[in-house]
Amino acid sequence: MTNSTFQLSSLNLDLLTQKVNTSKIDYCEVRLRDQVIFTHERNAQSKDNLHKINSITKSVLSLLIGIAIERGELPSIQTSIAQYFPEALEESKEDVTIENLLTMTPGWDWPEMGDWGGLPKPMINSPDWVKYILSRPMKYSPGKRMFYDSGSSHLLSAIVQKISGMTTADYAEKYLFKPLGIEQYRWHSDAKGISIGGFGLELKAPDLMKIGQLMLHKGRWNNEQLVPEHWVTKSTTAHHHTYDHIGSYGYHWWIMASDDKPISPAIYFAMGYGGQYIFVIPEHELIVTFASTLYKHTFLPYRLFKQFVGIEMN
């Protein structure tokens, strides 16, 4: 990717139409300045079926953390996780904060994008996910290095449940989904009843656009501030850069980058394994969403989006 700018005149709807029709993308929607200018449904069920959105779950969870802080249920992102897991936390992890979980910089050894092949199977196969996560050996000081970490996301979900007295799914329904008009969803849990923070959520494909609109409008929906504006800004600001082929990382949201510098105009996005995406370009008031089951071609919609908006490819 080059560090280039692009203009609205470069939007290539003909290319997008051709590609989504031939690439087995289940659903795609483009909204420009609050007007839908393109939709694609692969079949009659694509719009109304629940889609597993995988790691977009993380980005939704980030919004819930922002809501919890605004409501006073979480004191600060600088709070140590020791406050929530005192019985299971060894001394070496007492300096890990909620912010470290949000930026995936807790410092423990978590080779999800390495030896584990992109899936946290050792966690999934363990009887107690939280205990497994907290048992991982420390490798770096907290805040130093970002490594993709669905375990951090699951701890955030466990914290939401501890502070609210309800499941993360119920918390989301009350403070986010119901206000957004998201009426049908499924949020799977681990064996201990904790809503899976890293990849457990299923939504209808058009509801991805509602989340994109909420983000574009800095947390406002129908004149109600559902998520604090400052939280949306912080979440979509690059804090760490690790993966050149994806981008930089904020608070469970990705920021498109050239090398380690965000491109201009800014683009942030949520991404799920198998080709689930919410792309937002605030300067152009453009949102593009994809729902797919392309598990062998996760980045196909990512590349298509870049072609669509006119970003040069490597």
> Each residue of 67-89: pLDDT tens digit?
999 999 999 999 999 999 998 78
Answer yes or no: are the C-beta atoms of 105 and 145 closer than 8 Å: yes
Strand ranges for 146-239 from DSSP E = 185-187, 201-204, 220-221, 224-225
Instruction: Spell out, as residue ranges, where the chain has pLDDT lower than 50.
Output: 1-3, 313-314
Give Cα 230 to chain centroid, integer Å: 17
Answer yes or no: are the C-beta atoms of 254 and 278 closer than 8 Å: no
Answer yes or no: are the C-beta atoms of 151 and 116 closer than 8 Å: no
pLDDT in tens, 276-308: 999 999 999 999 999 999 999 999 999 999 999
- What is the model's pLDDT at position 260? 85
Instruction: Give CA–CA dist 294/181, Å, rounded.
Output: 28
Q: Which domains does the chain have, with CATH numbers?
A: 8-309 (3.40.710.10)
- What is the model's pLDDT at position 1? 40
Note the pTM of the prediction, 2 decimals: 0.96
CB atoms within 10 A of CB 121: 11
- What is the model's pLDDT at position 7? 56
* DSSP three-state, residue 147: coil
- What is the model's pLDDT at position 5? 58
Give Cα 6 to chain centroid, integer Å: 25
- What is the model's pLDDT at position 8? 58
